[in-house]
């Protein structure tokens, strides 16, 4: 086996190992997620035994009967946020999740959990949290791009005013110069001897007038160029705002889009006692109502669903 072939074999082996290991980690994580979700369902049942909704986050009065006090859930959410921030700091990772976004999301979710008894999949919740971070970044970026666009519009408007004034000044100066030159030429035509006596003065008058005209033309040219550049800068800023706005819209749509759920490894799932008891009652009812063949068919369908 040559060296190149050996290297290729090693690379393939490493790639294959990492691939299979990643799948193994994913399977274990999925099973852990499922077990923790079962645990959460049991804890949610305890909470729902005491509370049926949340007290409004800004309420100052004593909570009504059945309301989970904001004096309890707000500090808990703050503690969870602080823990996330501390972990990111210890691992030297960037932490951009805003507390108000995290708090609002947690309050909304908690209200849903307690009022309905249904539990979002933790995997989906994690994805939603990441989406919140992405949305926060895009919102900040969009605000910055809009500020740039506002400045570009102001600069373009100033450049337009300046260009319009330069064009007006050029036209007025050109007209004035033409009058001066015509007056000088008329002196030469009507009074040659007198004009000859002040020839140098008349020539200086023409030179000064031509200089003014040349300066006005150059000023106008510069102003028109700056106007075009300012308009291009505005167009670029508008395009940037549009691009970021579309990215933000897409991120928000992704946040609310349903996520496909993967199946847990049933051989390692740990069901809660309440779940087992409830499903045992369901099974006993089915045994009484359906034949063995029908129950086997149902078992086969359930097995296929979770494979």
Pairing of strands 53-54, 67-68: parallel
Q: Check residue 192 and give its pLDDT.
A: 73
Question: How far is it, in rounded angstroms, from Cα 102 to Cα 118?
Answer: 20
Asked if 54 and 67 touch (Cβ cutoff 8 Å), the reply is: yes
Nearest to 187 by CA among 210, 206, 166: 206
- pLDDT, tens digit, for every residue of 162-197? 889 888 888 888 888 888 878 777 777 777 776 666
3-state secondary structure of 118: coil
Question: How far is it, in rounded angstroms, from Cα 216 to Cα 219?
Answer: 5
Q: Would you kindly state where each structural domain of the chain is located, as residue ranges? A: 139-256
Which of 123-127, 134-138, 222-226 comes out lowest in average pLDDT?
Answer: 123-127
pLDDT band at residue 77 using 50, 70 and 90 as cut-offs? very high
Asked if 225 and 160 touch (Cβ cutoff 8 Å), the reply is: no
Nearest to 120 by CA among 255, 27, 29, 251: 255
Asked if 53 and 114 touch (Cβ cutoff 8 Å), the reply is: yes
pLDDT: which is higher, 163 or 6: 163
3-state secondary structure of 62: coil
Which of 39-43, 262-266, 293-297 has the highest average model confidence (pLDDT)? 39-43
What mean pLDDT do residues 258-267 have?
A: 55
- pLDDT, tens digit, for every residue of 85-126? 999 899 888 888 889 888 988 898 888 888 888 775 555 555
- pLDDT, tens digit, for every residue of 17-41? 777 777 777 777 777 777 787 788 8
The reported pTM is 0.41
3-state secondary structure of 91: coil
């Amino acid at each position: 086996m040559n060296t190149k072939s050996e290297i290729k074999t090693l690379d393939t082996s490493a790639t294959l190992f990492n691939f299979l290991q990643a799948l193994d980690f994913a399977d274990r994580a999925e099973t852990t997620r499922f077990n923790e979700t079962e645990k959460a369902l049991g804890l949610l049942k305890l909470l729902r035994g005491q509370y049926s909704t949340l007290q409004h986050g800004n309420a100052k009065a004593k909570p009504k009967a059945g309301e989970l006090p904001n004096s309890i859930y707000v500090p808990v959410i703050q503690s969870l946020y602080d823990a996330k921030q501390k972990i990111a700091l210890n691992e030297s990772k960037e932490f951009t999740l805003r507390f108000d976004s995290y708090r609002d999301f947690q309050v909304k979710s908690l209200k849903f959990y307690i009022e309905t008894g249904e539990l979002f999949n933790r995997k989906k919740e994690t994805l939603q949290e990441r989406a919140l971070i992405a949305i926060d970044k895009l919102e900040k970026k969009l605000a910055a791009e809009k500020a740039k666009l506002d400045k570009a519009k102001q600069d373009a408007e100033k450049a337009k005013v300046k260009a319009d004034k330069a064009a007006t000044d050029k036209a007025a100066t050109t007209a004035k110069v033409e009058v001066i030159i015509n007056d000088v030429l008329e002196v030469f035509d009507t009074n040659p001897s007198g004009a000859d006596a002040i020839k140098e003065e008349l020539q200086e008058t023409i030179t000064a007038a031509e200089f003014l005209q040349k300066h006005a033309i150059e000023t106008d040219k510069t102003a028109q160029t700056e106007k075009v550049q300012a308009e291009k800068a505005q167009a670029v800023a508008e395009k940037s705002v549009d691009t970021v706005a579309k990215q933000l819209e897409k991120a928000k749509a992704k946040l609310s889009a349903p996520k496909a759920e993967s199946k847990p490894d049933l051989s390692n799932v740990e069901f809660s006692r309440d779940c087992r008891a409830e499903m045992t009652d369901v099974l006993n009812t089915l045994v009484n109502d359906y034949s063995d063949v029908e129950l086997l068919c149902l078992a086969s369908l359930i097995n296929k669903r979770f494979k």
